[in-house]
Amino acid sequence: MERERLVIVGAGMSALRLLEELKGRCPGRYNVTVVGAEPEPAYNRVLLSSLLAGEASDEDLALKERAWYAASGFRLLTGAEVRSLDRAEKRLTLRDGRVQAYDRLVLATGSEAIRLPLPGAHLAQVLTFRDRCDAMKLKALAGEGRRAVVIGGGLLGLEAAFGLAKLGSAVTVVHLMDRLMERQLDLKGAATLRRALEAKGIAFALSAQSAEILGETAVTGLRLSSGEVLLADMVVMACGVRPNVSLARAAGLEVGRGTLVDDAMRTSDPNVFAIGECAEHRGVVYGLVAPAYEHAAALAAHLAGDGGGAYGGSLLSTNLKVSGVSVFSAGAVEAEEGDETITLADPGHGHYRKFVVRDDRLVGAILVGEASDGLWYLDLIAGGEPLGGLRDDLAFGRSFAAAA
């Protein structure tokens, strides 16, 4: 009997995890083709900031060699952009005119960096920080005596800022909000983080709106809406990403912010699925790796027909990847009425911890300065068990609590 043709559009980390899951659950069941627009197989995007900072090499980013795909029975097409999806005929047309038929299709198209429509945004020194190509362009522009402005004080912006500063550039981060990482940190946690990054030579302009990128043929600066001008040789837009739903929308699939999926990661077409950053599940779009891996596991279980495959959503946690500055955040950032807040601060050492407890259960944790127990706190939040006697020692970490 001829095997079903399973085609995956996108060759990133979520697609690779799906392949690994399928190989483990139902090897050989599907005739699998992976179509990726980038020139190389999946690599570890989590390490892009380390690559920029010179703390990781191209080899460190590698996940699986091309030979692994072939040996596993997977056909890999790289540098292959999909132009259109015909759901009625169940086929994809690639940019070069090739046609790829499918029986089941998985969209793992990820997300794309948001580029602000500012005057001057067309200049060559205005970059994003999304893939390996972006990181290499930034490395080429950075260095001693170079000035960089990073627009965005979220996770990606701070990692880009640190990498550029480590390469010797003078860096200023421009952020629209009044604190860094406002989705993950409260005011005190954000202030602690800011002091730690300022100690590494990074400057900040908070509650500041970008108005215009200056320069005729090359970037010379960024003008803020206040009129202040920040001199710069490059501008990095790290102000968020949006799910890549252009293919899904053009094909008539239901989309919101992302491609809408049910608990089986199925779209509005029963033969088309979506996972990772391009998918929207129960009104939520996840822009992190861990949920994408959970998507892949759920879909693989469904495709394998082993009785699993129901995805119920993910508990988000965030880690800032900057050498010498540890940040972890999960769950509730601010307490609601009736919640208890436990804080522990050591400004002299740059440490700050905050925990939100609701009905004797941990529902949120912020760690700045020392975050080695982050996964332990995440397990406590996910488990939802009463803290009991653990509550009094919660702020001091796993080892202290275990010894108490």
Residue 149's domain is classified under what CATH number?
3.50.50.60
Residues 92, 242, 174, 181: what is their CA dihedral angle, to the nearest 10 degrees? -130
Distance CA 174, CA 366 (A): 23
Quick one: 283 exposed, middle or buried, by C-beta within 10 A (0-12, 13-18, 19+)?
Answer: exposed
Strands (E), 22-130: 30-35, 74-77, 82-86, 91-94, 99-101, 104-107, 111-113, 126-128
Same domain, 82 and 33: yes
Q: Which of 221, 240, 259 is the last residue of a domain?
A: 240
Asked whether the beta carbons of 61 and 47 are under 8 A apart, the reply is yes
The mean per-residue pLDDT over the stretch 205-227 comes to 99
For residue 403, pLDDT over 90 is answered with no
Q: Can you give the pLDDT at residue 400?
A: 82
Distance CA 369, CA 131 (A): 28
Q: Fill in the DSSP letter of residue 255.
A: B
Rg (alpha carbons) of the chain, rounded to whole number? 23
Where residue 359 falls (left for φ over 0; alpha for ψ -120 to 50; beta otherwise) is: left
Residue appearing with tokens 């999909």 = 82
* Domain-embedded: residue 341: yes
Distance CA 15, CA 110 (A): 10
For residue 309, pLDDT over 80 is answered with no
Distance CA 250, CA 78 (A): 22
Q: Report pLDDT digits (tens) over 87-146.
A: 999 999 999 999 999 999 999 999 999 999 999 999 999 999 999 999 999 999 999 999
Q: Give bridge partners of residue 43 from the DSSP assignment.
A: 62
Strands 30-35 and 74-77: parallel
* Domain-embedded: residue 309: no
Residues 115, 119, 125, 128: what is their CA dihedral angle, to the nearest 10 degrees? -10
Count of domains observed in the chain? 3
Q: Can you give the pLDDT at residue 56?
A: 95
Q: Can you give the pLDDT at residue 404?
A: 60
Asked whether the beta carbons of 241 and 260 are under 8 A apart, the reply is no
Distance CA 378, CA 362 (A): 9
Same domain, 120 and 91: no
* Domain-embedded: residue 355: yes
Q: Categorize the per-residue pLDDT at 322 as very low, low, confident or very high, splitting at 50, 70 and 90.
A: confident
Same domain, 75 and 153: no
- Name the residue among 252, 230, 266 with its Cα closest to residue 106: 266
Residue 355 sits in a domain whose CATH number is: 3.30.390.30
Q: Note down the domain range covering 352.
A: 317-402
